[in-house]
Amino acid sequence: MSTPVSHPTPAVAPRVRASRGWLARHSVSAADQRSALLLLAPMLAVLFAVAVFPIVYSLWTSLFDIRLTRAHSTFVGLGNYVAIFRDPDFWAAVGRTAAFTVASVAAIMLIATPVALLLNREFRGRRLLSTALLVPWAIPYVVVGLMWKWIYDSGYGALNGLLLQLGLIHHYTVWLGDTHRTLALIVNAFVWKEVPLATILLLVTLKSISPDLYAAARVDGANVLRRFVHVTLPALRPGFMLVTIYEAMTAVRHFDLFFILTEGGPADASHVLAWHIYVETFRKLSFGSGAALAYVLALATFAMAYGVIRLLGRRL
């Protein structure tokens, strides 16, 4: 009996993998790469002109003492930054900015969360309410500032008229002239504008929660409060983080309402960091220190966003 002869199987797989790797490495020729770069060149040029160059130029400007009242500029290195941190007006503006940011973000979260929970349920008129909610967000900040300035007006403002009719006040009040109320009034206008966007972001997060989680919680005997604490709130953490970062960055850098409503007043009650940059740059015409202040604000905003991500991101 003859023994069968076994034929060795040729090692084809390594060659195929090698050829595929060779094709992956050499599928794009040098001519194709040059063509791609040529097609991307206009977009890269525009990006450099509107983004990269202003950032680099403003950083270079912050190293000089540039004033339009003088013919020549002087290189001072980090002198502008040192002068900023020694300026008591800067730290006072930082304190007002921090108070405005904390109050605004807290109010936005406290209002947007229950509104998002309401819109997440089915009821008659839900779509109409959702559409009406978008109206404040769609209005530009300039229009919002003018509207609230008329509402707060001491002579013909709607706020004075409403409170007088309700008997809560007995004479017209100059709302924006009170140093103790000004910042809170600007917070109110800012929150009115920003709540719709925060509500939408939280509502999108709520829509991503699986109904099976609520069904399992009901089976375990959890009531409405326990389902909210143990299911809804943990699932809302990504939305909370996104809303907190966005609204905090917007509040820290906000300028429009301060310019339209109070122009930093009365006295220095609404002299926040963004207004301080405007005054230093365009009223005192000190472009070097104004650019340095803008970089300090940008770095502070980045550090704040990074801190929020690290704090809330660990719990996601």
pLDDT at 16: 45
Distance between CA atoms of residues 242 and 237, nearest Å: 9
Distance between CA atoms of residues 200 and 112, nearest Å: 8
Question: In sequence order, what are the beta bridge partners of 286?
Answer: 67
Apex CA 230: angle with CA 198 and CA 313, to 5°? 55
Is residue 45, in this structure, part of any structural domain at all? Answer: no
Tokens at residue 256, please? Answer: 């429009």
Is residue 29, in this structure, part of any structural domain at all? Answer: no
260 near 146, Cβ under 8 Å?
A: yes
Query: What's the DSSP call for residue 201?
Result: H
In terms of DSSP H, where are the helices of 120-181? 126-138, 141-151, 158-166
Apex CA 46: angle with CA 41 and CA 51, to 5°? 125
Is residue 9, in this structure, part of any structural domain at all? Answer: no
Is residue 8, in this structure, part of any structural domain at all? Answer: no
pTM, two decimals, is 0.82
Is residue 37, in this structure, part of any structural domain at all? Answer: no
Query: CB neighbours of 169 closer than 8 A, spacing ≥ 6?
Result: 160, 163
How many C-alpha atoms does 88 have within 13 Å on its Cβ side?
Answer: 1
Task: Report helix, strand and coil shares of the chain as percent, to nearest 5.
Answer: 70, 0, 25
Q: Which amino acid is at 187?
A: V
pLDDT at 106: 95
Closest of 257, 262, 264, 270 to residue 283, by C-alpha: 264
Apex CA 228: angle with CA 227 and CA 233, to 5°? 125
Is residue 92, in this structure, part of any structural domain at all? Answer: yes
Is residue 13 classed exposed, middle or buried when 0-12, 13-18 and 19+ CB atoms within 10 A define those classes?
exposed
pLDDT at 8: 53
Closest of 268, 255, 276 to residue 145, by C-alpha: 255
Tens-binned pLDDT, residue by residue, of the chain (316 aa) = 445 555 555 544 444 444 444 444 555 678 888 888 888 889 989 988 888 888 899 899 999 998 887 778 889 889 999 999 999 999 999 999 999 999 999 999 999 999 999 988 888 888 888 888 888 989 999 999 999 999 999 888 899 999 998 888 888 889 998 888 999 999 999 999 999 999 999 999 988 888 888 888 888 888 888 888 888 888 888 889 899 999 999 999 999 999 999 988 888 899 999 999 999 999 989 999 999 999 999 998 888 888 888 877 665 5
For 139, the domain range is 79-313
pLDDT at 54: 87
Is residue 270, in this structure, part of any structural domain at all? Answer: yes
pLDDT at 85: 93
> Strands, DSSP E only, in the chain?
64-65, 74-75
pLDDT at 274: 93
Tokens at residue 32, please? Answer: 């194709």
pLDDT at 151: 94
CATH number of the domain within which 170 lies: 1.10.3720.10
227 near 217, Cβ under 8 Å?
A: yes
The total domain count for the chain is 1
Is residue 235, in this structure, part of any structural domain at all? Answer: yes
pLDDT at 19: 45
Q: SS3 for 120?
A: coil
pLDDT at 273: 93
pLDDT at 235: 86
